[in-house]
Amino acid sequence: MGDTLEFNDIHTELKGSWNDGRLRFSKQSVVYKSHKTGKVDSIPAPELSAAQWRRVCLGHGIKLATSTGLVYRYDGFRDTDFEKISAFFKTNYKVELAEKDMCVKGWNWGTAKFTGSLLSFDVSDSPVFEIPLSSVSQCATGKNEVTVEFHQNDDAEVSLMEVRFYVPPNTGDDGSDPVEAFAQNVLSKADVIQATGDAVCVFKELQCLTPRGRYDIRIYPTFLHLHGKTFDYKIPYTTVLRLFLLPHKDQRQMFFVISLDPPIKQGQTRYHFLILLFSKDEELSLALNMSEDEVEKRYEGKLSKNMSGPLFEIVSRVMKALVNRKITVPGNFQGHSRSQCITCAYKASSGLLYPLERGFIYVHKPPVHLRFEEISCVNFARGTTTTRSFDFEIETKQSNQYTFSNIEREEYGKLFDFVNAKKLNIKNRGFKEGMKGADGYSDSDEDQHDAYLERMKEEGKIREEGDGSDESEGDSGTDTPQTKYIGKLTCLYLSLLCVLQEWDRKAAEAKKQYEKAMKEYRESGGGAALVTK
């Protein structure tokens, strides 16, 4: 048996929606990486305390429990995977992979068991359903009833809003109320944000682009609190995916971007990114609401009790220490104006596109972050309104397309070199390399060469060759009368363009000959004689 086992297309359930990813078992740990978010779950092998194999809706699944009270569930295995996984667990983890069947009787009377961060409803010692307590947003009690409410997920087509448990009115051995005991067990592990104690620090009146407004940001040990004039948001650090610090093109401002999953909500609006805008000239002196020894012990030198400097540096430093995430900054890319971003438009709003070492990010309306590993291909397209700009198109592996338009043609060479160096798949690479010197986007007043016309000629030749092969080899069934008609129109259009170009050339030559003859005629005195007569 090898040192590792890997499985693709393994699914995890997150607040009502399925996320697929890759699961790898090694001697040191169990690692799962989500294809959607890129988030990685890592379970050290010594912390594994129990493992269950069971039949679920997507084939077979594994439930892993750790000594720290966490529970992980992964589905999508085949029946034949049980033997090798069981043997691997025995050999490397010293854990028995036990088979456990789910109860499908349909009974609604059973026992609620709290195991770590999981609530399991069992009938006859077999689980009917399980609730991750981290998905619970609120817990309310009644006379003999406990109501559990859940966080909502935008990716889920159908969402579970709440579950109500009836608790019989009997008193425990210690005289406690069973309803209150049930609620306390839920709240102890639920994702219910409550501000307890004083904030570590407070930043007053920070300019926020999304959600728009001025907000006071209170930094707590486990979450940050945005307090505005109309809305308040509490953001747990566990929902922060990435941090970005991006210089504005004017070199006088800085963007600080926080990527969130799940997003914060304002009515029906979802904000997947929190974007703050700072002036580089704004300074701040800050004192943390903690003793020096406590700061040193908790943050291990990442923060100090008294800090001073530019405001954006202090905010990013505090967020990096509390969230425990690296801050992504632009890499080695430099545009035509020697800035690290490109001015463009996305969805009719102007913004800035930043080529990063591992992806692209666009700010700010709406913000877009695309990792290289989720990009299928990119394309350089000619602008629709003017030859002085071009469009940059990105297509993802999920068939989503993002078009960043109105990019200055001087940025073409730099962006092409960047994309090529990152080994991204470029559509029509042959055409693009021929236009790499930016002459492909020259205005007709500056250069007689029309790259767009050349491209159309090449595409016309390809269509003609494709039509010829279809006739010789038989109908493939993919060409419709409409596509053949469009192909013929394109060929006719190209032929007319060639004819017009030829007549334009002849007209220019005739004009030169006329001007030469007229000059000779006047020099010989013909013009003066005509006036005298």
Share of the chain above pLDDT 90, in %: 15
pLDDT at 94 over 90: no
> Which class does domain 4-100 fall in?
mainly beta
Which H helix or E strand runs over 461? helix 451-473
Which H helix or E strand runs over 458? helix 451-473
3-state secondary structure of 392: strand
- pLDDT, position 493: 78
Which one of 3.40.50.150, 2.30.29.150, 1.10.3720.10, 1.20.950.20 gives the CATH number of domain 201-328? 2.30.29.150
- pLDDT, position 444: 33
CATH code: domain 111-170+180-188 is 2.30.29.220
Confidence class of residue 220 from pLDDT cuts 50, 70 and 90? confident
Q: Pick from 61, 71, 49: which is nearest to 100 by CA?
A: 61
Q: Does the reported pTM lie above 0.75? A: no
- pLDDT, position 170: 76
- pLDDT, position 291: 85
pLDDT per residue over 4-53, tens digit each? 888 988 888 777 777 888 999 998 889 998 887 788 888 888 888 889 89
- pLDDT, position 342: 92
User: d(Cα 73, Cα 63) in Å, to the nearest integer?
Assistant: 5
pLDDT at 455 over 70: no
Fold of 342-422: PH-domain like (2.30.29)
Q: Token digits for 348? A: 């009719």
- Comparison of pLDDT for 492 and 48, the residue scoring more: 48
Burial of residue 354 (number of CB atoms within 10 Å: 0-12, 13-18, 19+): buried
User: d(Cα 354, Cα 363) in Å, to the nearest integer?
Assistant: 8
Best-predicted range by mean pLDDT (168-172, 184-188, 267-271): 184-188
Share of the chain above pLDDT 70, in %: 83
- pLDDT, position 15: 73
Confidence class of residue 259 from pLDDT cuts 50, 70 and 90? very high
**Which has the minimum average pLDDT: 28-37, 185-194, 291-300?**
185-194
Best-predicted range by mean pLDDT (148-162, 278-292, 439-453): 278-292
Read off the DSSP letter of residue 161.
-
Q: Does this chain's domain 111-170+180-188 share its CATH topology with 342-422?
A: yes
User: For all residues of the chain together, what is the average pLDDT?
Assistant: 81
Q: Token digits for 91? A: 């050999």
pLDDT per residue over 106-152, tens digit each? 888 888 888 878 888 988 888 888 888 888 877 778 788 888 888 77
Q: Give the start-to-end residue ranges of the domains of the chain.
A: 4-100, 111-170+180-188, 201-328, 342-422
Give the mean pLDDT of 361-381: 90
Confidence class of residue 443 from pLDDT cuts 50, 70 and 90? very low
- pLDDT, position 383: 63
pLDDT at 476 over 60: no
**Which has the minimum average pLDDT: 197-206, 250-259, 422-431?**
422-431
